[in-house]
Amino acid sequence: MCYTGEGVAPNTTEASAWFQLAMDQGRVDAYRKIGEFLMKGVGFAENIDDGVNLFRWAAEHGSKEAQYDMGHFCLNDSYGPPNPEEAVKWLKMAAQQGLPNAHLKLGQILKYGQGVAQNLDAAREFFRSAAKLGDRFAQYELGLIYLNGDAVGVNKKETVKWLKMAAQRGHLNAQIKRGQILINGLGVPKDFNEARELFRPAAERGDRIAQYEMGQMCLYDRGGDVDMTEAAKWLKMAAEQDEPHSQNLLGDLYYTGHGLPPRF
């Protein structure tokens, strides 16, 4: 409460004192919190090594969050030489306690071979575990695996299933991928209206691919009437972010004067 300001004014000095007392009485989560304070220099002089050691103690005493943190530290050269094998050890401990982020991180390490041998089959299973726990990033990764056929062969049904779940949970790239699937009818009936509704939020948040797709929707009568001015608006936004297809289409629009004054 003193740290977050819930019910009291934020006071990191007071917070650190109480966490210290809790740590002195063996509270595992307090070890992790004091470790965080030491690494950030909050309430104490900054000391990365001592902070990591407190995270390690908490991890060794069963904190799944600290185990995940230790996995992160072992992958990040800001905390010493990277040690992927040690990272995997800690992450597996956290995953065994049901932490979705640990399953996701293990999947990413194994999918891309980050310091360990690439293992797409194992990566898929870790993604699946996290996806079943509701992790939208894992659902997206699993959808991509089935979309690209990584080690399993293309599976349209599984692709649609996992990307839809991730999109419904607000994963921006999943929304775009699902929109593209609906445009092309990949394993589902074509649905331009739903695709447009998926592209729009991502486009409004500044994603250049979604802006390009919105431009095409308006340009080619997909999910609404042809609207050259609206098409040019989205394509210009994407083109200004160096999206090459949008730059080409926008050039055509300016050249022909469709919805825009011609520029030569």
Q: Which pLDDT belongs to residue 1?
A: 47
pLDDT digits (tens, 9 = 90+) for 114-166: 889 999 999 999 999 999 999 999 999 999 999 988 777 888 899 999 999 99
Q: Output the DSSP codes for 105-127.
A: HHHHHHHHTSSS---HHHHHHHH
Q: Where are the domains of the chain?
A: 176-264
Report the alpha-carbon distance of residue 202 to residue 81 in Å, rounded: 38
Q: Is 260 left (phi over 0), alpha (psi -120 to 50) or beta?
A: beta
d(CA 27, CA 177): 45
Q: Which of 75-84, 88-97, 229-238 has the weakest average pLDDT? A: 75-84
Least confident span in 28-32, 57-61, 234-238, 242-246? 28-32
Q: Give Cβ neighbours of residue 216 (< 8 Å, ≥ 6 apart).
A: 222, 231, 249
Q: What angle do CA 37, 39, 42 make, to 5 degrees?
A: 35
Give residue 264's pLDDT.
43
Structure tokens belonging to residue 122: 């194992």
pLDDT, mean of residues 26-55: 88
Residue matched to tokens 């056929």 = 149
- For 105-122, b/e burial (b = at least 16 CB within 10 A) is bbbbbbbeeeeeeebbeb
Quickly list H helices, the chain.
12-24, 28-40, 48-60, 64-75, 84-96, 100-112, 120-132, 136-148, 156-168, 172-184, 192-204, 208-219, 228-239, 244-256
Q: Flag whether pLDDT at 2 surpasses 90.
A: no
CA–CA separation, 60 and 28 (whole Å): 10
Distance CA 17, CA 34 (A): 10
Under the banding of pLDDT at 50, 70 and 90, the label for residue 258 is low
Domain 176-264 belongs to what topology?
1.25.40
Name which of 9, 72, 69, 10 is nearest 43 in CA terms: 10
CA-wise closest residue to 141 among 84, 88, 101? 101
Each residue's pLDDT tens digit, 237-254: 999 999 999 999 888 888
Cβ contact 220:226 at 8 Å: yes
Tokens of 86: 């040690």
